[in-house]
Chain A
Amino acid sequence: MNYHHNDELIEGLAQRYVTGLMRGQARARFRSLVSEYPRIAQQVTLWEQHLNGLADQLKPMQPQPKVWQNIQQRLFTTTRTSNPFWRIFGGLAAVTAAVLLIVVIQLQTQIPEVPVVDRIALIKDEQQLTLWVLNVKPDSIKVTPQPNVEARNDKDYELWMLPKDGSAPVSLGLLPESSTAKALDPPAEFQLAQVGALAVSLEPTGGSTTGAPTGPVLYTTDIITL
């Protein structure tokens, strides 16, 4: 459909978007049109200007103090500030307003004589829904996608390692979107001790062809060792 040529259609969609009556997939699709077509963005802005004043009728409500504390914590107590790559990815990630939390849990196995350490990373979205479970070994990563992953026909999710020394991100492979687990075969540069953090970007089908992330970085990470 030629959205950008039909004024009446654009206006109707902008109205529904701004009033909140457009939901789900349609809303997500329309949002991408807003960033693509200035005329659509203009209509959205116009309706925001018309209607946002309605919110003046609501009684102001004080949020709890912990909200501000959490904001400060999420902004300033991550590895992001110390690594130049975080600044780049942080900005990109803000655009999508998504946050990834990777929790590295060290699990001791039950054989006391030969302690084998497994690392598990949980990739969660901002609503704390787990998207992928990563079982990380020194030379391999097993990924199990969860039902919350939004499957994309036209794109792939690519996993990147951000080295501790601030050198360029290294691709660790494409993340599966369906329910079957997949073993990634990371390149030789992948060494657990060198992983500063992980990031997930949205790439054309088949992954980035440039060796660096090209699409939006959807999730960036804090690593917490328990």
Chain B
Amino acid sequence: MTEYQLSKDLHRIALGDNSAFERFYQATSPRLMSVSYAILRERTLAEEALQDTYLKIWHAASDYRSDAGSVMCWITSMVRYRAIDMLRHARRQPLTSQDIEQLLDQQGGDALPVTAADTDKLEHCMSDLDGTQRQSIHLAFLYGLSHREVSDYLGEALGSIKSWIRRGLESLKRCLQS
């Protein structure tokens, strides 16, 4: 489903159109589920976060403004923040390399072309970062690891991790805005 169709359906959802909501759910839930699961790593919890997110989408559909980014960007934030809030109650096992392999899409995403150009640029800019910076940002952003957990996973000092992430994000921003 294209961004245009998603935002059209979102407008319908704001008017209470349940069939638009179902279409929207079918198109977007596999991606939001993967985002939620990567952070929570437990199916029941991930589905709970997903449920809460779609209830919020139903109620807040009229709040969406296109200047706040694409629809996909907007709802991705919603599910991420819900999942991160739920981490407080989740008892997670430490992340293993196997977990990461399982969660990553080897064939490249087929579900939702967000806006290909943006994604390409992000990929390019991420690949410009040094390995540890890139890995730290991935671990925090995609897998919901805290500074402490990133430091344990990579076996590096907490202080170094903090500054790596900070500097990595700065370089990423410069590259994305260039």
Contacts and interface: CB of A to CB of B under 8 A. Distances in A.
- Band of interface residues on B: 35 or more
Contacts of B111: 60
B31 A60 contact: yes
Contacts of B144: 20
Contact of A53 (B25, B122, B138): B122
Interface in A113-149: 126-127, 129
A127 B85 CA distance: 11
Contacts of B146: 21, 23
B56 A60 contact: no
A73 to B, nearest CB: 10
Contacts of A57: 104-105, 109, 142
Nearest to B122: A53
Given A23-B146, A97-B55, A64 B69 contact: no
Interface residues of A, number: 45
Contacts of A12: 166
Contact of B105 (A45, A58, A64): A58
A59 B72 contact: no
A61 B141 contact: no
A68 B54 CA distance: 9
B20 interface: no
B109 A94 contact: no
A71 B33 CA distance: 14
A67 B104 contact: no
A71 B118 contact: no
B22 interface: yes
B176 interface: yes
Interface string B56-86: 1011100000001100111011001010111
Contacts of A64: 43, 47
A64 B138 CA distance: 27
B122 A50 contact: yes
Contact of B37 (A21, A27, A61, A70): A61
B156 interface: no
B6 interface: no
Most buried by B among A23, A55, A71, A75: A55
B34 A55 contact: yes
B34 A97 contact: no
Given A52-B76, A63-B29, 15 more contacts: A15-B166, A23-B88, A50-B173, A51-B122, A54-B126, A58-B38, A58-B105, A60-B33, A60-B112, A61-B34, A71-B25, A75-B55, A94-B55, A97-B82, A99-B55
Interface of B: 18, 22, 25, 29-31, 33-35, 37-39, 43, 46-48, 50-52, 54-56, 58-60, 68-69, 72-74, 76-77, 80, 82, 84-89, 102-106, 109-112, 114, 118-119, 122, 126, 137-138, 140-142, 144, 146-147, 165-166, 169, 172-173, 176
